[in-house]
Every structure is written in structure tokens, then in C-alpha cells.
């Protein structure tokens, strides 16, 4: 039987990590969708730039995008399909509506023909963790696309340390997908309630042939964010074409020649 869950909560509460574990524990086909929650005066939602989707897809290669209609026939007919919709929402979904879903969210779900059987909100439902659930009164957001950009590893480490320690404003929440010159990428995750940052490697490694193809971005949420300084520092931390080619040439020289027989 197909199951559809709607999981909502404020920024940084742990929705994506919880969803990853829930999807991994499911034996059958699964699908995922992230809905952008609504902003209010003084409370800005961060534009995800597909960070969550790309991280989950890397960890669960068979994961299906619920916005896509490809193979929808076989997918819908499978007996054990599990779908999760993630919603960044500052306040609880509970309201006067009988099913607890507000009209804006309901319209988005109906457009995609999704009907959640279970609705869970971080900070309200006992089965969800509460440790990182914050009640925001004001929140700014900053989203920076970094597609095809590659970081100097030492510069990235220094930048991230400065970022989460207030050099560019009061950052409450930071997440990113960052490319390194050795072909790896990391899912970087930090929330003010945590003792440290998460740097989780993606399984996929880019080949040493030019700029990476995967999506990359940085999303910040907090107060008094200095976007100009952030962008300027990032520019200084990225590798130019010549330096990137030097790294990639070294990697290519270390790869075995497929036409040379092993001794």
C-alpha cells in the first residue's frame, strides 16, 4: 500500500536527516519532495537550491522525485511505495482545517496528486526529536548558487569556521553542498543549537575532466547577514581554471590506464 507522509518544521530542526533515515529503512520504492514554506514579514524562508534533494538522491540512488512524471505508472502501482513531502514551516500545520493542512499547502499537494495519510510537525509530535527545534521571531536568509565552483580545501575550512562564529552576521542556520578539487563533495550542515558542524561526504565522485556537473549552493539564515562580505570571501576561496586543471591533471596521472594489462 502506498504511504504518503508530510513532515514539517522550522529551519534547522533536523527534518532532512530524519527523512533520510526513514527512507533508508523502507525496503520498497520511495519518493521525495520539498515544498517551500511561506515567508512572513521579518521571517524569510531560505531557498533550498535543491541541496536537500541532491543529498538524499546521492544517499538513496533509487529515490524518485515526486515532481517528475517519469515512470509514474509503475511507481504508483507498486504495493509498498513510500513518499515523503518535506515542508519548511515556522509554525505548526495544525489549524481549523479538518485534516490539519492549511489551504496554501493543500493546493500544492493537490496539484501534484499527493494526499498525505500522516502529518507530523517537529516540536509538536512526540515521535519527532525536539532538540534543535527553535521558535524564530525574526530571520533573514541568503542563498548563493555555486554550480561548477570548486573550493580550496583549507580556504573552505577557514571560511566555514568564520561563518558559524559570527564573522558575517549572526548565522543561526547554514547548509551547503561544496565541491573539492579531488572530485568529492560535502553536505555541510550547521545549526546554532549544535556543538559542531556536520561535513558529510557524498558517495558520487566527479571525474577529473573540467568543472563539476553536480549542483552546489550555500544557504544561510540568521540576523544582520553581510551578503557582500560572504560573496567576496567565497570568491577568494574558489579555484580558478588553471589551478583546478593542475589538481585534475595529477588525479588523471594516478588513474590506471584501461588499455595497459595488469602485471
Domains for the chain: give ranges and CATH numbers: 3-121 (3.40.1010), 140-252 (3.30.1220.10)
pLDDT, residue 99, reads: 54
Which pLDDT value is given to residue 71?
45
Q: According to DSSP H, which parts of the chain are helical?
A: 15-24, 51-59, 72-77, 103-111, 153-164, 227-237, 241-254
C-alpha cell at position 203? 558517495
Q: What is the pLDDT of residue 235?
A: 97
Task: Say which residue, 141 or 90, is predicted with more confidence.
Answer: 141
Where is average pLDDT lowest: 2-6, 133-137, 193-197, 243-247?
Answer: 133-137
pLDDT at 262: 47
Q: What is the pLDDT of residue 166?
A: 96
Work out the mean pLDDT of the chain and round it to a whole number: 87
pLDDT tens for 36-54 read 777 677 788 777 778 999 9
pLDDT digits (tens, 9 = 90+) for 125-171: 888 888 778 888 889 999 999 999 999 999 999 999 999 999 999 99
Residue 203 has pLDDT above 90, yes or no: yes
CA distances, 115 to each of 70, 140, 161 (Å): 19, 32, 42
List Cβ neighbours of 174 (8 Å cut-off, separation of 6 or more). 160, 163, 164, 188, 189, 190, 191, 197, 218, 219, 220, 221
- Distant-in-sequence, close-in-space partners of 39: CB < 8 Å, separation ≥ 6: 45
Query: pLDDT-based confidence at 88, cuts 50/70/90?
Result: confident
Q: How confident is the model at residue 95 (pLDDT cuts 50, 70, 90)?
A: low
Confidence of residue 10 (pLDDT cuts 50, 70, 90): confident
| Neighbour tally for 116: CB within 10 Å | 21
What global pTM score does this model have? 0.88
Amino acid at each position: 500500500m502506498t504511504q504518503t507522509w508530510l513532515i514539517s518544521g522550522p529551519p534547522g530542526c533536523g527534518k532532512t536527516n530524519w527523512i533520510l533515515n526513514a527512507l533508508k529503512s523502507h525496503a520498497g520504492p520511495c519518493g521525495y519532495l520539498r515544498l517551500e514554506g511561506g515567508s512572513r514579514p521579518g521571517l524569510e524562508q531560505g531557498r533550498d537550491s535543491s541541496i536537500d534533494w541532491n543529498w538524499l538522491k546521492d544517499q538513496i540512488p533509487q529515490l524518485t522525485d515526486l515532481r517528475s512524471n517519469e515512470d509514474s505508472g509503475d511507481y504508483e502501482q507498486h504495493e509498498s511505495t513510500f513518499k515523503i513531502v518535506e515542508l519548511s514551516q515556522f509554525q505548526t500545520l495544525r489549524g481549523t482545517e479538518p485534516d490539519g493542512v492549511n489551504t496554501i499547502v493543500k493546493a500544492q499537494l493537490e496539484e501534484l496528486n499527493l494526499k498525505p495519510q500522516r502529518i507530523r510537525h517537529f516540536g509538536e509530535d512526540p515521535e519527532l526529536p525536539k532538540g534543535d527545534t527553535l521558535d524564530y521571531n525574526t530571520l533573514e536568509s541568503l542563498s548563493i548558487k555555486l554550480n561548477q565552483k570548486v573550493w580550496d580545501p583549507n580556504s573552505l575550512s577557514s571560511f566555514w569556521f568564520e561563518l558559524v562564529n559570527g564573522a558575517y552576521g549572526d548565522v543561526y542556520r547554514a547548509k551547503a553542498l561544496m565541491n573539492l578539487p579531488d572530485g568529492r563533495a560535502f553536505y555541510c550542515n550547521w545549526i546554532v543549537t549544535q556543538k559542531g558542524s556536520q561535513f558529510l561526504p557524498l558517495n558520487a565522485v566527479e571525474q577529473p575532466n573540467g568543472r563539476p556537473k553536480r549542483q552546489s549552493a550555500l544557504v544561510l539564515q540568521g540576523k544582520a547577514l553581510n551578503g557582500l562580505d560572504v560573496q567576496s570571501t567565497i570568491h577568494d576561496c574558489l579555484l580558478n581554471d588553471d589551478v583546478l586543471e593542475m589538481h585534475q591533471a595529477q588525479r588523471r596521472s594516478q588513474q590506471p590506464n584501461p588499455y595497459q594489462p595488469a602485471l
